[in-house]
Each structure stands twice: as structure tokens, then as C-alpha cells.
Structure 1
Amino acid sequence: MTLAGELRVMSDFLARRDVAGLTEPVDLIVLMGSAVIESVEVVAAAYQSGVARRILISGGIGHSTRYLVEAIERRKLDVATNARPESHIFADLLRDQVDRDAITIEDQSTNCGENAEFASRLITDEKTVVLVQDPTMQRRTHASFERACRDRRHLELISFAPVLPRVGAEVGDGPDAIWSTGRFTSLVLGEIRRLRDDADGYGPRGRDFIDHVGIPADVLVAYRNVAARNQELVRPAGG
């Protein structure tokens, strides 16, 4: 299989989508800060179509912030970015399309686990919550929210990755690409490693940040193949 095919196998698994589209009403959308501005566009469209009347944006200053700033600059968007949390930048992008009083901000989290931990404190009586995250981190984010909200049996979490990444479109060297191929490969390898329930992963057998996540055999094969050819991109499962 080609690199593009193997990346697609892994990214389709990581970009968790529990529904085909955001069409059914929910109580809340939780939008995670990231470098994927398409997330904002998806949430704005859902709000405008009446899917949700409340939006919680979660994200401080983390490892993706500089990539978000680069994306803002590349698109020549008129948004202040200097030393600002990702949630504040996303809120500014949303405010032309969403009522100001519909937005709540959590601006202290710096990773997926903290997104879930800190945002969950702001989820009160809601029964249906949609999670929107960078697609490479969507599955781990969902697992993190399941852990943070494990005692809320009334709560339904619905994941919706904003895009399904493809080499040659969202991934590559083109002007509209979200990720370079190298960065995307590194992100995908890191996410599979984190999700593996072993001594190096985030599951119960490792750091115990999330509950066990089953990884399909074809995803593990793709991971091993790409990792073997890109050892320089294989890093410890931190972050």
C-alpha cells in the first residue's frame, strides 16, 4: 500500500465521526482549539442551521498554537493572534457568524486531557454534546471526555471530525493544505501510539489517561509499516 493509502487508513480511524453530519439538534457543541480552522466553519454552519444554540470553546496556548497562527497568517484573516489562547482566536473567528452570548470560553487547557477535564466542569445539565476537534486528535479527545464525564450517565457524547484528511487535498504541499505530509505523518503516528493500550500508551496498561480503545488490525498494520519507514518521526507518546 502507498503512504497515502496507509495514512488514510489511520486517519479515517482517528477522525471519529459518530454521525454523517451535524443535522440533529443537540444541547451543546464543544469546539476544541487547534490549527484546523475548518473546525470553526463546521461549528458556525451547525449553529446557523439551528443544531445547537450554545458553543463551548476549549483551548489555551499549546503545541498547536503556532500552527494556528501560521494558518491565520496564510489565509490573511484579520484576527489578533499574538500570545492569545486558541479559544480566544477561535471565538473571534466565530463572532461574525454566531451570537456573542452563545459562546462560552475555557482558555486554560493545553492538551486533549485538559480540554476534557476543564470543559467538563462547564457542562452542567446538557444531555447531548457534540465534540469537534482536529481530526487527528478526534478519537483521543472523545476517549478523554468519556473518562472526564464517566459519572454522568445521562450525557451522550457525539464526535464529529470537521474534515476527513486526504493526501493531495488537506495533506501535502499545496496552498490549501492544512498539514504538510511530514507533519501529518508525525501527528498520525503519535496518535496511534498514544491510543495503543500498552506500556507506552495512554490506556489502562500505560499512563491510564483514557479507558481502553480498540484499534482495528488494519490500522495497526498501517501504523507499523509507516513507523518502520519513518523512524525519525516516531517520538515518545507525550503531549
Structure 2
Amino acid sequence: MDEELIARYLARRDPVDHPVDRIVLLGSAVIESVAVAAAAHRTYSAPILVSGGIGHSTRYLDEAIRRRGLGVDTGRPESRVFRELLIRDGVPPDEIVVEDQSANCGENAEFTRRLITGAATLLLIQDPTMQRRTHACFERSFADLPGTRLFSLAPLIPWIGTDQVGAGPETPPIWSRARFRSLLLGEIHRLSPDGYGPRGRDFIDHVDIPAEVLAAYNRLATAHPDAIRHP
């Protein structure tokens, strides 16, 4: 399935072969990211920096909070919501730093860079549809800090059902199938040289997209032209 192939590519997961100094949890509508960050905190004994203000995903996060009945105040920066959920999951408050001004992936990376004063190993956790682009943004923002190591850990590999997409068939849905398809198509475009790459908006450096992923993108875009969104 083309959607599954693209989704697995975007949901970057790196083998971590080095001690982690800081976990960077990026705000999104994917609440499952919180449990993954809390587990990583326990595994690596590393503090968590949560980055995310109010952006395009905030209303989807608020909807997910209400839909799941989590009893967390909404209408706030995504990082503030995630901080509360991390504390509920057992992460000590003094092990969490919040950056709540960024409104997109580029600012996540830029504003996080301002808070990191020396070379460190960072574990990045983001919405799986945005994990690969987030990694590219951090590579650009941290290029001036030699010795920095970046690892990505997408919180889940999306399970694609008939109408809904989530972590699995027995878990709460995260996206509708139509919205998920649109996100996939948008991400491949953004990763391209003419999207957010050097020939486009120049937010990220060149990303080599595998030929089979580009082929899947082209088939999916042809089959669903109304799903293409290039903000």
C-alpha cells in the first residue's frame, strides 16, 4: 500500500547507539508521544525539553484531549499540555523544561537550539508524519554546534484502517483516513528540494527521498488529487 510505504518512511526511527543527554518532545496532536517520551526518560535518565506553542496542530490536540476525556485544560501551548501529561506519567516536574513560543517545526528547532549551550546527544520525538522533516530542521539549526548528535524516535508506526488511522486497530484514532493521506502528500512535497528544500523555501538542507517513496507519492497524488495540500 502506498500510504503505508510513505508513512513508514516519514516515521523515522534511529537505533540509538550513544547515551542520550536530552529528550526533545515536540508538540503535536499525537498524544501517544507523551508516553514514549516518559519511557525514554526512564530508559536514558535524561531530562525532557518540550517544544511547542500554538500552531496548526493545536486545535487537533485540543480535540483529542476532549475526545479521550483526559481532563486537561485546552487552549494552551502544546508544550504546556504535554508537560501536564508527562507529570501524570511520572516524570518529575524539575526534569521538564518548556519552550512554548514556537509555532512550526522550524521554530521548534531554532528555539530549542537557543536553550542548548553545548554539544549534546538529543533524542527527538515528534508526530510520525513530521518526524523526518523535524530531524532535517534540527540538523540545520544545530549545524553550528559541532559534536551534537541527533536521533529520531517516531512514537508509533501508523496503523491504517479503512476510515481511521492510529497506533493500532484497538486504539483511539488519531487521524481520519482522508486527513492522514493529505498529511503524507504534504510532507513528501515539503521534504523535496522544491518544497522546503534548497530550491524552495530553504528551511531544510537537501533530503534524499528514496525512489520507491517518490513513486508511491506520485501514484497517491494521481489517485487523490484533491488531497494535495502544500502550505
Specify the alignment match of 2:223 in structure 1. 229
| Structure 2 SS opposite 1:179 | strand
Specify the alignment match of 1:84 in structure 2. 76
Distance 1:70 1:33, change over 3 A: same
Shift of residue 233, structure 1, vs aligned partner: 1.3
2:191, 2:207 within 8 Å by CA — same for their partners in 1? Answer: yes
Kindly provide the CA deviation profile for residues 33-71 of structure 1, in whole angstroms up to 9, marking residues without a partner as x. Answer: 00001100001111123x133100000011111111111
Q: Which has the higher strand share?
A: 2
Residue 170 (str. 1) matches residue 163 (str. 2): no
Distance 1:109 1:165, change over 3 A: same
Specify the alignment match of 2:87 in structure 1. 95
Q: How does 1:3-18 map to 2 (within 5 A)?
A: 5-18=1-14
Residue ranges of structure 1 left out of the alignment (5+ in a row): none
Distance 1:224 1:55, change over 3 A: same
Measure, in 1, the Cα distance between the counterparts of 2:147 and 2:19. 16
| Structure 2 SS opposite 1:63 | coil
Kindly provide the CA deviation profile for residues 102-151 of structure 1, in whole angstroms up to 9, marking residues without a partner as x. Answer: 11000011111010011111112242100000000000000000000111
Measure, in 1, the Cα distance between the counterparts of 2:91 and 2:220. 41
| Structure 2 SS opposite 1:101 | helix
Residue 190 (str. 1) matches residue 182 (str. 2): no
Distance 1:224 1:86, change over 3 A: same
Measure, in 2, the Cα distance between the counterparts of 1:24 and 1:142. 17
Q: Percent identity of the aligned residues?
A: 57
Specify the alignment match of 1:38 in structure 2. 32
What's the RMSD between the two structures over aligned residues? 1.8
Q: What letter corresponds to residue 129 of structure 2 in structure 1? A: T
Q: How does 1:8-157 map to 2 (within 5 A)?
A: 8-19=4-15, 25-49=19-43, 51-81=44-74, 83-96=75-88, 97-157=90-150
Shift of residue 172, structure 1, vs aligned partner: 9.5
| Structure 2 SS opposite 1:16 | coil
Measure, in 2, the Cα distance between the counterparts of 1:92 and 1:71. 15
2:157, 2:167 within 8 Å by CA — same for their partners in 1? Answer: no
Shift of residue 174, structure 1, vs aligned partner: 7.6
Measure, in 1, the Cα distance between the counterparts of 2:147 and 2:105. 22
Q: After alignment, is 68-77 or 117-126 more displaced?
A: 117-126
2:197, 2:203 within 8 Å by CA — same for their partners in 1? Answer: yes
The total of aligned residue pairs comes to 227
Residue ranges of structure 2 left out of the alignment (5+ in a row): none
Q: Give the TM-score normalised by structure 1.
A: 0.90
| Structure 2 SS opposite 1:136 | coil
1:91, 1:103 within 8 Å by CA — same for their partners in 2? Answer: yes
Q: What letter corresponds to residue 52 of structure 2 in structure 1? A: G
